[in-house]
Chain A
Amino acid sequence: MFSHLIEGLRQAGMPTSITEYLTLLGAMRAGVAEWSVDDFYYLSRATLVKDERHLDRFDRVFAQCFKGLETPEGVLPRELPEEWLRKLAEKLLTPEEMAKIEALGGFEALMQRLAELLAEQKERHQGGSKWIGTAGTSPFGAYGYNPEGVRIGQHESRHRRAVKVWDRRDFRDLDDTVEQGTRNLKLALRRLRRFARQGAATELDLPDTIRSTAKNAGSLDLKMVPERHNAVKVLLFLDVGGSMDDFVKLSEELFSAARSEFKHLEYFYFHNFPYERVWKNNRRRHDERLSTFEVIRKYGPDYKLIFVGDAAMSPYEITMPGGSVEHMNDEPGRVWLERLTSHYSRAAWLNPTPRNSWQHVRSIGMTSELMEGRMYPLTVNGIDEMARELSH
């Protein structure tokens, strides 16, 4: 019945499935929408949309699919005399009767019939089921009911006030066009998790309890251990500015996914390549700089080091002293990268550019070589690959 709506939604990239469609039909049969187009809109929204980011897309598709419900443009071949259409009575039909009313089939057919009737009819008409007028069951006229009816001269719509509701597109702000949320990234990052027991002893240690109870000649001796926590430690180095501007969104997603997955997460920013200084607050990058040595001193080798950057730059920025685009560096970038990777043996580089374009950029190849090939694309699969590599 509404399969074109489902098709439209799927074409718009919404993950609507047959399950939801069947639910919608079930709800319609149960009479939740109470024969009102407004309610039908609300009901189908509650059934088919599961994420507020999709609400706006839904509104657009809905408007498109049910465009025929609006007062169509260019339908009225001429102005109808006002007295024909003055409200006299409203004929209220039961749902059963409504179902019985036969639709004449197709919008085109209706329009054609309307034109014919208008040509035939010269007088005002009310009731009945053929002529144009009010309160009847003919497809033409107002205040009556026919499922495929065309409304003429009704001051306010009784059955289709809702068109305005979805045309308002109230949810535009919520559509951030992020097709994939952070859930997949989080699931990929989960591979990095390492559980360890830390803190207060709150959990029963069953094996130890049994052992010591047995030792105690059978009288109970409870042993407790601290709860298991995710103890993985991650240092995240994020490239900002310049060529990375295109990937800000992706990096932010990764960052927010990582932040909620790990308790020990430290992040630092750098520009193009890590040198002797990094910073934590990108807005104040010139006042609040941190020596890279300090980072190495403060965070032990048990941290996993993840760089995020496109590694696209001039090769001089990697190999030459003074090659940095931002400042005068005494030592070349590669020395700093080697210092970091030799301290943190579990290190990887995530690159937001697609893997097949890497071979065209020389600096990417050099960086990858310095990372001993541990460069992965910043995609769910890439993170998964990286997590596997780092979790040994």
Chain B
Amino acid sequence: MSASFRSTERYIASRDLEVAVNAAVTLQRPLLVKGEPGTGKTVLAYEVAQALGLELIEWHIKSTTKAQQGLYEYDAVSRLRDGQLGDPRVHDIANYIVRGKLWDAFEADKPVVVLIDEVDKADIEFPNDLLLELDRMRFFVYETRQTVIARHRPVVIITSNNEKELPDAFLRRCFFHYIRFPDRATMERIVQTHYPDLRRDLTREALNVFFQIRDVPGLKKKPSTAELLDWLKLLMVEDLPVDALRSNEKHLVVPPLYGALLKNEQDVHLFERLAFLARRGT
């Protein structure tokens, strides 16, 4: 594949992320992406698909997802029912094989990007069950005695929120990238790409408040990029004056519309208490 992945107008990727994506694309191995929630792990897959001009097949993992579901499922119940009704389809078992996302990806005419989202949500053995399929890009359908082999090895992007540890054998086969929380300069670029018409001074003040909140020790869930963008949107809709964000004193203040940033009751309490202490201290 000649096209390579670069930052776009909508997605700011750091150089190390670009290298990791390009390595995974070139060597046709899965890329495992970890990072704080809200730092753009899932969005990355969309952007990679866009940049390479490929179709994206998404497979969102839930706690009940089985590895087999990504390959295929055998719908025994409808076959049984069709048998009852005397439907001629019943004689061919292939009619009751329901294709999974990976099968679709393997059989696609053009290479595709496969997103396996939040792989850590599934059972602890889930990644192990997909080892061979992701490595060799082929699997065997027992019911029809057929082997599905990928026509083009898809670009596989796997995200994880670190809720469970992934097995070593699985990790060995992946490239790994940890999306670090962006620094201030990068954050300004990100905000710029999302809200190009946002006033400069408002951005600056908002980022001040935002990074101040992230520095508060003991927060259960630190606000991340996604929350910042939501909050900025709210600020724009409400059309708040810059002064509302600016505090003359150095200490903490509870920012307006804080609900977009702090998603946890305890965090709000903690923050209010700290703000109160800071006020009293001066």
B172: contacting residue among A20, A39, A45, A182, CB under 8 A: A20
- Contact between chains at A32 and B26 (CB < 8 Å): yes
- Contact between chains at A50 and B32 (CB < 8 Å): yes
Contact count A vs B, C-beta below 8 Å: 83
B96 within 8 Å of A by Cβ? no
- Contact between chains at A50 and B27 (CB < 8 Å): no
B237 within 8 Å of A by Cβ? no
Interface size on A, residues (CB 8 A): 39
A50: contacting residue among B24, B124, B172, CB under 8 A: B172
- A 181-215 to B, binary, CB cutoff 8 A, 1 in contact else 0: 11100110010000000000000101000000000
A42: contacting residue among B20, B31, B81, B172, CB under 8 A: B20
In the complex, chain B residues whose CB is within 8 Å of the CB of A38: 15
Smallest Cβ distance from B261 to chain A, in angstroms? 21
Task: List the B residue with the shortest CB-CB distance to A220.
Answer: B84
A101 within 8 Å of B by Cβ? no
Task: List the A residue with the shortest CB-CB distance to B17.
Answer: A42
Stretch at the interface among A1-9, A22-30, A87-95, A347-355: A22-30
Complex Cα gap A170–B165 (Å): 22
- B 157-174 to A, binary, CB cutoff 8 A, 1 in contact else 0: 000000111011001111
A187-B124, A204-B77 known; A23-B29 Cβ under 8 A: yes
A183-B124, A220-B81, A220-B84 known; A52-B178 Cβ under 8 A: yes
- B 138-182 to A, binary, CB cutoff 8 A, 1 in contact else 0: 000000000000000000000000011101100111111110100
Complex Cα gap A50–B174 (Å): 8
Complex Cα gap A252–B39 (Å): 27
Q: How big is chain B's contact interface, by range?
A: 20 to 34
- Contact between chains at A19 and B26 (CB < 8 Å): no
Smallest Cβ distance from A63 to chain B, in angstroms? 16
B192 within 8 Å of A by Cβ? no
A27-B27, A220-B80 known; A46-B15 Cβ under 8 A: no
- Contact between chains at B23 and A43 (CB < 8 Å): yes
In the complex, chain B residues whose CB is within 8 Å of the CB of A52: 34, 178
- Contact between chains at A49 and B176 (CB < 8 Å): yes
A51 within 8 Å of B by Cβ? yes
A359 within 8 Å of B by Cβ? no
7 A-B residue pairs with CB within 8 Å: A33-B19, A45-B20, A46-B31, A46-B176, A50-B172, A52-B178, A171-B180
**Extra 14 A-B pairs, beta carbons < 8 Å, given A46-B23, A46-B177, A50-B174:** A15-B168, A19-B173, A20-B172, A27-B23, A39-B19, A46-B19, A46-B175, A52-B34, A171-B178, A174-B178, A186-B164, A186-B165, A190-B124, A222-B77
Question: Which residues of A are in contact with B by a Cβ distance under 8 Å?
Answer: 15, 17, 19-20, 23, 26-27, 30-33, 38-39, 42-43, 45-47, 49-52, 55, 170-171, 174, 181-183, 186-187, 190, 204, 206, 218-220, 222, 260
